[in-house]
Amino acid sequence: MTASEQKVAVVTGAAKGIGLASCERLAAAGFAVVMVDLDAGELQEAAAALTVAGHTVMVSAGDVSSFAGVQAQWAEILARFGRVDALVNNAGIAQPKALLEITEEEFDRTISINLKGYFNWCKAVAQTMIDQQYGRIVNISSVSANTGAAPSAVSKFAYCAAKAGVLGLTRGLAKELAPHVTVNAICPGSIMTALTEKLIMSNRAMIESSIPMGRIGTPLDVAVVVEFLITVEPSFITGEIIDVDGGQWVN
């Protein structure tokens, strides 16, 4: 197994939204991109567009919440490329139920995708990044990790809890994986994607008026910050949380 010259980025939740926009930016920046998603059909379609554009792409369908599944996906990725330079933990689900409505299973599922899924992928890639003495991990959290759920938000407390857990995971791993592997997080605000479109469209004027920059965010707004955290050289940034929310939560 020989490591290729091309840098490799693994992106979860890559079939659409912020994950897909991140893949597009990283591919354009010269990375081979491993696109991970639960939805194999959408994943193939999204990957085809990048392949047609001449980029190196590998698709890897699976559920981020399965530890064994992620280990098996990772073994295939390592066998193909022999290296990993960047991980973008992005796959996530909304959880619209409040405390009095949510079931135990729904709470567990929210945490197991939105938090444990991030652990699963960090655990998979960490040894290789440490051995390489190089790695960039970017975790997509949410502004609601810090603010709790706004009345207009798609998701309620369980999602906020998972996303706040992502911030703790980011800070803890930034220290554990230093000095050669950086771990940072991004907290998007209201970004127009499949996850949020219905709700944003039904409250658009109200949401826009709550954002100092006066507009809803796009996946590209987040993807350019993902690219920055992965490609900036030299980098002296780790354990950092960057809000990408148009000033919605100025703290």
Ligand X SMILES: NC(=O)c1ccc[n+]([C@@H]2O[C@H](COP(=O)([O-])OP(=O)(O)OC[C@H]3O[C@@H](n4cnc5c(N)ncnc54)[C@H](O)[C@@H]3O)[C@@H](O)[C@H]2O)c1
Active site residues: 159
Asked whether the beta carbons of 120 and 142 are under 8 A apart, the reply is no
Residue 1 Cβ vs ligand X, minimum distance, rounded to whole Å = 26
**Cα gap 10→23, rounded to integer Å:** 9
16 binding ligand X? (CB under 6 A): yes
Unique residue bearing structure tokens 């330079």:
85
Name the closest residue to ligand X (Cβ). 17
Q: Does 191 bind ligand X (CB under 6 A)?
A: yes
User: Is residue 55 within 8 Å of residue 46, measured between CB atoms?
Assistant: no
CA distance 46 to 60: 12
Q: How far is the CB of 61 from ligand X (least distance, A)?
A: 8
Count the helix, strand and coil residues of the chain and give each as a percent rounded to the nearest 5. 45, 15, 35
Contact 16, 91 (CB under 8 A): no
Binding test (CB under 6 A) with ligand X, winner from 8, 10, 13, 85:
13
Among 57, 59, 113, 225, binds ligand X (CB under 6 A): 113
**Least distance from ligand X to the Cβ atom of residue 65, Å:** 5
Spatial separation of the C-alpha atoms in residues 113 and 122, rounded to whole Å: 13
Q: Does 169 bind ligand X (CB under 6 A)?
A: no
Residue with token string 């796009």? 218
User: With respect to ligand X, which residue has the nearer C-beta, 38 or 150?
Assistant: 38
Name which of residues 43 to 82 contact ligand X (CB under 6 A): 63-65
Among 57, 92, 125, 185, binds ligand X (CB under 6 A): 92
Residue of 129, 140, 169, 174 interacting with ligand X (CB under 6 A): 140
Q: Which of 51/147 has CB closer to ligand X?
A: 147
Does residue 134 sit in helix, strand or coil? coil
The tokens 């809890």 sit on which residue? 161
Cβ closest to ligand X, residue 17 vs residue 135: 17
Nearest Cα to Cα of residue 4 among 120, 133, 132, 137? 132
Q: Which stretch binds ligand X (CB under 6 A): 10-18, 77-85, 167-175, 202-210?
A: 10-18
Would you tell me which residues interact with ligand X (CB under 6 A)?
12-13, 15-19, 37-39, 63-65, 90-93, 113, 140, 142, 188, 190-191, 193-196
